[in-house]
């Protein structure tokens, strides 16, 4: 067993780099390449890449929050947990690539499916991390309430379901599929009760 603090700090660094890589995919034109009179048209054409950046930024931020919640309850880590966590970091750090593919091939359904599958995989990896840590209270406090475990699991499952809905909707309209992804942070943040569960757990430990 190992202490979780260094692993959590490493994860924060990797996720921060992944978010930074997103903005590097937005090209700033030079005046020689895009004359001033064509700047308006260039900005209109850049709306799609910018929306892709914003969506991916928000999604990575939501995954970070879910990861933060998990580590709030982790009291120790083992090698399997570190490996599962590594898979999650691999997937998160990969998000800038499908984001860029979607920006370049904005009307291609395969580009959207590629993006959606990566988002789905990020949520699956978080679910695997939480299920492993809480199975038989392996890496969490024995006094952590079953209700807390269940509610956190439901929060992690939510993006999985939304990804499935987005994929299905994309066969009707790609833009609708893209917009559905924004439901992940909205529904994640509006679910009540998690902050109170943190407080009750802290009181139980004391």
Alpha-carbon distance of 84 to 127, in angstroms, equals 10
Half-sphere exposure of 25 (CA within 13 A, CB side): 25
- Give the model's pLDDT for residue 103: 84
* Range of 37-41, 101-105, 190-194 with top mean pLDDT: 101-105
The yes-or-no verdict on residue 205 having pLDDT over 60 is no
Alpha-carbon distance of 131 to 134, in angstroms, equals 5
Asked if residues 59 and 188 have their Cβ atoms less than 8 Å apart, the reply is: no
Q: Which domain holds residue 112?
A: 5-205
Number of domains, the chain: 1
pLDDT, tens digit, for every residue of 116-146? 999 999 999 999 999 999 999 999 998 888 9
Confidence of residue 32 (pLDDT cuts 50, 70, 90): low
Q: How many helices and strands in the chain, by DSSP H and E? A: 10, 0
Asked if residues 180 and 162 have their Cβ atoms less than 8 Å apart, the reply is: yes
Asked if residues 71 and 5 have their Cβ atoms less than 8 Å apart, the reply is: no
**Token digits for 151?**
């509610």
Burial class (CB in 10 A: 0-12, 13-18, 19+), 100: buried
The yes-or-no verdict on residue 197 having pLDDT over 60 is no
Alpha-carbon distance of 204 to 192, in angstroms, equals 20
Q: Average per-residue pLDDT in the chain?
A: 87
**Token digits for 41?**
């048209």
The yes-or-no verdict on residue 148 having pLDDT over 70 is yes
Q: What are the backbone dihedrals phi and psi of residue 100, each rounded to the nearest 5 degrees, phi first?
A: -70, -40
Least confident of 137-141, 155-159, 202-206: 202-206
Asked if residues 2 and 78 have their Cβ atoms less than 8 Å apart, the reply is: yes
DSSP state of 131: H
């Amino acid at each position: 067993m190992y202490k979780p603090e260094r692993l959590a700090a490493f994860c924060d660094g990797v996720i921060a780099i992944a978010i930074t890589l997103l903005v590097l995919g937005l090209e700033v034109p030079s005046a020689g390449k895009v004359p001033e009179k064509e700047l308006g048209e260039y900005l209109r054409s850049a709306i799609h890449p910018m929306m892709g950046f914003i969506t991916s930024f928000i999604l990575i931020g939501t995954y970070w929050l879910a990861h933060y919640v998990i580590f709030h309850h982790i009291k120790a880590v083992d090698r399997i947990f570190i490996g599962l966590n590594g898979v999650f970091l691999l997937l998160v750090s990969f998000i800038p690539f499908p984001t860029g593919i979607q920006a370049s091939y904005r009307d291609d359904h395969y580009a959207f499916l590629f993006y959606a599958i990566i988002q789905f995989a990020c949520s699956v990896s978080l679910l695997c991390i939480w299920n492993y840590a809480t199975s038989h209270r392996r890496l969490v406090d024995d006094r952590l309430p079953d209700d807390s475990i269940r509610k956190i699991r439901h929060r992690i499952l939510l993006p999985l379901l939304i990804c499935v809905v987005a994929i299905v909707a994309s066969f009707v309209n790609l833009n609708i599929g893209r917009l559905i992804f924004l439901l992940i942070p909205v529904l994640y943040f509006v679910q009540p009760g998690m902050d109170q569960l943190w407080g009750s757990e802290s009181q139980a430990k004391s």
